[in-house]
Structure 1
Amino acid sequence: MNPLIVARLRQVIVPLLVVGLIAGCRSGVALTATDDRVQVITTTGILRDLVSNVGGDRVAVTSLVPDNADPHSYEPSLRDVRDVVYADVAFSNYLLLEEQAVIKALDANLRDGVPNVSLAEGAVRYAAEIIPLVEDVSLDTIWLGMRVRGTGAAEGANRSSDVLLSATAAAGPGRVLAYLTESFGNPSFSVDSGDGFDAANGYRDDTATLPPDAHTHMSWAFTKPGVYRLTMRANLALTPEAAPVPLGEQVFTFAVGVDPHSVPGMAGAAVLNSGHADVTVDLDERRLYLFADPEGSGEANQRVYDPASTVIEVPNKALLEVPGDRRFRFLGRPGTQVYQLPQAVLGKHVHGEIDPHLWQNVRNAISYVELIRDTLVGVDPQGAADYRTNASTYVRELETLDTQVRDTIASIPPSRRHLVSTHDAFGYLGQAYGVQISGFVTPNPATEPSLADRRRLTETIRNLRIPAVFLEPNLAARSTTLTEVAREEGLRICAIYGDTFDRDVTTYAEMMRFNAESLHDCLTTDK
């Protein structure tokens, strides 16, 4: 086996890896006003590496998100903002890959006239292929998130705008809470009816903030059985200074541990009790509704449900015990029971409809390179010949890499070509190179998975005869459930890279080659 893979496998199985607990290393060079080179800021290290290969000696490039850090949740520092101010050109992936704070830091601090390129969207003009983000959470109850639809162009919305979805009132026999579990299990609240709703502060304590065209996973908890009615209001914040634009208000009804067909005043109402659903703000129609796919069969089957004639069921099988972890005392004393619709995926996870991880298909990375080339030529025409030569050389390397990845994965027997992981970052890898994404997602990282959750994972592994599971090194500390089940089943625990580099894998080519070899070595041989 490749010695590098051996080293990474040893690291990834160490519980609570230090690499996952500390901030990533600063990567790239600090941008300054005195450097004669073109100053380039990127959001991630992967984009930084692509720019370095095209720009060569004519550019100084750094990334906002350090290596080892998660772009989905990274919060930029003052030093990051300083680099943005000096930049002559900026590259983000976007499609809601990056934490919204990263995008805001970029958009708010670039000088006027500096090109600000969203590579994932722009690369489509260069033949990049995009695929929908498919989430198969396989839950026993409905998955209920929050969503923003529409562009809000008529109101002047852009990717730095905020949609504020606030709870303003609640009626029911107990408390209703909506929260998500961030990195390493830290809860972040959006709604808590237990302390009231403060109109004086704009309901900030009971507000979820989303960028346009996004949706987020959410846990919903109810402390007693009965019927709950939650009033929610939406506003569009174009800038921190401007008055928010009102987008409407609605009441959402929950039947918690009681018959959803017998809710007073809701005779004949539709009942949502399975699949995917979102409390949705429509920017263009300026209203709130439920957008749901009850069968869990994909975006094409999602449709609008009027909250006035719809009941969301929280069944008795959603009754769970409060864990002993002090961070979750807000739910009640350890061992007491609450009804909970689970979050569905690990960690904070705000995203759109298109899978943003385009680079996992090397052909898409080539499209990124071509867009980067043309952007740098526009910024620095005197370097056009260098940029074109560098890009041509690098594209040839990537074409060779694409063949290597394809051939390496093709040598895995089709019956073993299954990827089980905890992060939905490998759809493009699967589509481009024939890997079946068979991964599961823990329903709620805040609590111990139920016996049904573990049984489902175990049955999947046994039925497909999966010999190994794959963890991203920077996320390994969050993945105790997967590692525990893997050890119980005698599976290998292997490394795979999704969004970021580390000290061992420092370039895009190394990352893709490592992933292919890790898949091959771990799926073709038994432990």
Structure 2
Amino acid sequence: MIKKFVALAITIAILGCKNERKEDGKAEILNIVTTTSMITDLVKNIGGDMVNVQGLMGAGVDPHLYKASEGDVSKLFNADVIFYNGLHLEGKLVEVFEKMESKKETIALGEYLPKGELIGSEYFASNYDPHVWFNIEFFKTYAKKVADVLSKKDPKNAVTYIENEKVFLLKLDVLQSEVKNTIATLPKEKRILVTAHDAFNYFGKSYGFNVVGLQGLSTATEAGVQDVQKLSQFIIDNKVKAIFIESSVPRRTIEALQAAVLSKNHEVKIGGSLFSDALGDAGTIEGTYLGMFRYNVSTIVNALN
């Protein structure tokens, strides 16, 4: 059924394809389609006014479960470049991307990261944890790749793309310094991060947190009663002060965990909502990668201290 839908949608896109062109036949600006909001924000930073960016996934959207609509397939077909995370993060879009590869430049940014530095997982289809944007060094690699692709696709504006890349990389350097200083105020024994699913392993590895997710790396896997009971005991044993919900995962999973702890005559507070697989609302500070990262770190440190 899905295959028939994708094929039909692509056919419709081909028939309805209308790209605005200059008289010389070249595109006015590059049409870029992105998947997650983190990548959307990144491409907007690098591309600036030289590109038209359409992100498929907005605030609160779970990329693990996202399915392409007919409108999405049309956007993808009309794109000059498609940037996505890869590493099986956008699992239900893989078939669409595969059908586009022979006709479009599709860039799976995760494929350009050093495999030896990725976190492996026997429980996830790609064998790698795909939540790589929580490693700022990896996000720098993403920025460099985006700038390189845009420069080759649109050489007339290459200088602008490279300049925008330099500016964004400097902002990431500042972010790294700020994050390190903020986390330094949290004692190492308190650095236990319990969240709805395993989205923060790269963050934990970078900053010395023991990260425990109620669900696995993909939200497609459901947490069972035994998972809740086991984690509730871990929270009690380790005197964890706060646990966290995620903006793209239903809060009921963490509320069930909190209730399980309470049933054992202990208390744990919900420390706040973290942005994991998506940024905040467009137009807000948390709707940017830099703002999201700062917000998450501040929320974690304040709740656990």
TM-score greater than 0.5 by the shorter chain: yes
**Secondary structure at the counterpart of residue 353 of structure 1:** coil
Write out per-residue CA displacement over residues 262-291 of structure 1, whole angstroms, 9 at most, x where no aligned residue.
xxxxxxxxxxxxxxxxxxxxxxxxxxxxxx
Give the Å deviation of 1:454.
4.9
Question: Residue 464 of structure 1 aligns with which residue?
Answer: 238
Question: Residue 5 of structure 2 aligns with which residue?
Answer: none
Question: Residue 499 of structure 1 aligns with which residue?
Answer: 277
Question: Residue 255 of structure 1 aligns with which residue?
Answer: none
Q: 1:369 to 1:51 in 2, by over 3 A?
A: same
Q: 1:108 to 1:436 in 2, by over 3 A?
A: same
Contact persistence 1:81–1:106 (CA under 8 A) = no
Write out per-residue CA displacement over residues 172-192 of structure 1, whole angstroms, 9 at most, x where no aligned residue.
xxxxxxxxxxxxxxxxxxxxx
**Secondary structure at the counterpart of residue 94 of structure 2:** helix
Aligned partners of 1:404 and 1:385: how far apart in 2? Answer: 29
Correspondence 1:56 to 2:12: no
Give the Å deviation of 1:500.
0.6
Q: 1:54 to 1:454 in 2, by over 3 A?
A: closer
Question: Residue 123 of structure 1 aligns with which residue?
Answer: 113
Contact persistence 1:410–1:433 (CA under 8 A) = no
Write out per-residue CA displacement over residues 456-498 of structure 1, whole angstroms, 9 at most, x where no aligned residue.
3332112211000011022134514224235553222121111
Question: Residue 88 of structure 1 aligns with which residue?
Answer: 80
Write out per-residue CA displacement over residues 272-322 of structure 1, whole angstroms, 9 at most, x where no aligned residue.
xxxxxxxxxxxxxxxxxxxxxxxxxxxxxxxxxxxxxxxxxxxxxxxxxxx
Aligned partners of 1:104 and 1:90: how far apart in 2? Answer: 14
Give the Å deviation of 1:510.
1.1
Correspondence 1:411 to 2:192: no
Contact persistence 1:92–1:118 (CA under 8 A) = yes
Contact persistence 1:38–1:58 (CA under 8 A) = yes
Contact persistence 1:87–1:110 (CA under 8 A) = no
Question: Residue 362 of structure 1 aligns with which residue?
Answer: 136
Correspondence 1:40 to 2:32: yes
Q: 1:53 to 1:486 in 2, by over 3 A?
A: farther
Aligned partners of 2:186 and 2:122: how far apart in 1? Answer: 24
Q: 1:441 to 1:117 in 2, by over 3 A?
A: closer
Aligned residues: 272
Question: Residue 107 of structure 1 aligns with which residue?
Answer: 98
TM-score by length of 2: 0.82
**Secondary structure at the counterpart of residue 420 of structure 1:** strand
Superposition map of 1:300-315 within 5 A = none
Give the Å deviation of 1:67.
2.7
Correspondence 1:377 to 2:188: no
Give the Å deviation of 1:33.
1.1
**Secondary structure at the counterpart of residue 438 of structure 1:** strand
Correspondence 1:438 to 2:242: no
Contact persistence 2:119–2:202 (CA under 8 A) = yes
Question: Residue 75 of structure 1 aligns with which residue?
Answer: 67
Question: Residue 485 of structure 1 aligns with which residue?
Answer: 260
Question: Residue 265 of structure 1 aligns with which residue?
Answer: none
Contact persistence 1:53–1:390 (CA under 8 A) = yes
**Structure (1 or 2) with the larger CA radius of gyration:** 1
Q: 1:515 to 1:412 in 2, by over 3 A?
A: same
Question: Residue 513 of structure 1 aligns with which residue?
Answer: 294
Q: 1:458 to 1:84 in 2, by over 3 A?
A: closer
Aligned partners of 1:441 and 1:396: how far apart in 2? Answer: 35
Superposition map of 1:323-342 within 5 A = none
Give the number of the structure whose residues are more often strand, by fraction: 1
Aligned partners of 2:199 and 2:290: how far apart in 1? Answer: 17
Correspondence 1:388 to 2:162: yes
Q: Which amino acid aligns with 2:297?
A: A
TM-score by length of 1: 0.49
Give the number of the structure whose residues are more often helix, by fraction: 2
Give the Å deviation of 1:400.
0.6
Aligned partners of 2:120 and 2:37: how far apart in 1? Answer: 24
Aligned partners of 1:486 and 1:365: how far apart in 2? Answer: 36
**Secondary structure at the counterpart of residue 161 of structure 2:** helix
Question: Residue 24 of structure 2 aligns with which residue?
Answer: none
Give the Å deviation of 1:92.
1.2
Write out per-residue CA displacement over residues 437-470 of structure 1, whole angstroms, 9 at most, x where no aligned residue.
134449x8486x25xx554333211221100001
Superposition map of 1:83-482 within 5 A = 83-100=75-92, 102-109=93-100, 112=103, 114-124=104-114, 129-133=117-121, 351-441=125-215, 445=222, 449=225, 453-479=227-253, 480-482=255-257
Aligned partners of 1:427 and 1:363: how far apart in 2? Answer: 14
Contact persistence 1:440–1:457 (CA under 8 A) = yes
Q: 1:356 to 1:446 in 2, by over 3 A?
A: closer
Give the Å deviation of 1:134.
6.5
Which is worse superposed, 458-467 or 393-402? 458-467
Aligned partners of 1:394 and 1:45: how far apart in 2? Answer: 16
Give the Å deviation of 1:371.
0.6
Write out per-residue CA displacement over residues 342-383 of structure 1, whole angstroms, 9 at most, x where no aligned residue.
xxxxxxxxx321111111011110110001110101100001
Q: 1:124 to 1:375 in 2, by over 3 A?
A: farther
Q: 1:463 to 1:446 in 2, by over 3 A?
A: closer
